[in-house]
Amino acid sequence: MMNNKNNLSFFTVSFRTLKNNIMLSEKIEQLLQDQVKKEASSSQTYLAMACWADVKGFSGAAQFLYTHSDEERVHMLKLIKFLNERGSQATIPALDSPRKEFDNLKEVFQSILDHEILVTESINNIITVCLEEKDHLTNNFIQWYIAEQMEEEQLARSIIDKLEMIGSDTSSLYLFDRELATANQGA
Ligand SMILES: [Fe+2]
Ligand SMILES: [Fe+2]
């Protein structure tokens, strides 16, 4: 009986130690929670852009933006699940209504690029704090986001370059819009 008690307390202590090891620091928990909001905001922002493109007749760009919005929601969900698995409980944030009017397609993609650059800075900051706090688990998890950011920035830049080349040539713009429908497949 005595032995069983000792065994039980050993397992309790071991479990506590294990649980403490996987729990997030308050600072990293807050940064990840802020990132949930940023990804949610990206998803809503791109959804509003998709609506603009849809009603302006840019059906290819609309398809691109609807897909992009879905991808940002997946980014948010991955963070939410990570927070829940690491001893926290994710908070679902309230969001402001995103911008819904744009002058042209180039302005839409310039806004995307500007937004993605801010998101990349935010991810970089999370990595810096993970290194400072030696949180290798979160660092490993967040590396996927950095690779994703590089792809998204590169794609937005290449689309802006093409839109600059096209300028006011409406027939080229029509053809490029059709190309955009599948531009983020596999991204
Ligand atoms: Fe994202
Ligand atoms: Fe993004």
Identify which ligand lies nearest to the alpha carbon of 73: 1
Calpha distance 42→76 (Å, rounded): 9
Higher pLDDT, 22 or 4: 22
Above pLDDT 70, what percent of the chain?
88
Identify which ligand lies nearest to the alpha carbon of 76: 1
Q: Give the fold, CATH level 3, of 24-180.
A: Ferritin (1.20.1260)
Identify which ligand lies nearest to the alpha carbon of 68: 2
Burial profile 50-59: b = 16 or more Cβ within 10 angstroms, e = fewer: bbbbeeeebe
In the chain, what's the furthest Cα-to-Cα distance? 86
| Domain ranges, ordered by start, for the chain | 24-180
Could you tell me the distance, in angstroms and rounded to a whole number, from the CA of residue 113 to the centre of ligand 2?
Answer: 9
- Name the residue with tokens 């080229």: 172
CA dihedral 103, 109, 111, 113 (to 10 degrees): -160
Q: What does the pLDDT look like over 101-129, one tens digit per residue?
A: 999 999 999 999 999 999 999 999 999 99
Spatial neighbors of 120 by CB under 8 A, at least 6 apart, are: 146, 149, 150, 153
Could you tell me the distance, in angstroms and rounded to a whole number, from the CA of residue 42 to the centre of ligand 1?
Answer: 7
**Mean pLDDT value of segment 46-63:** 98
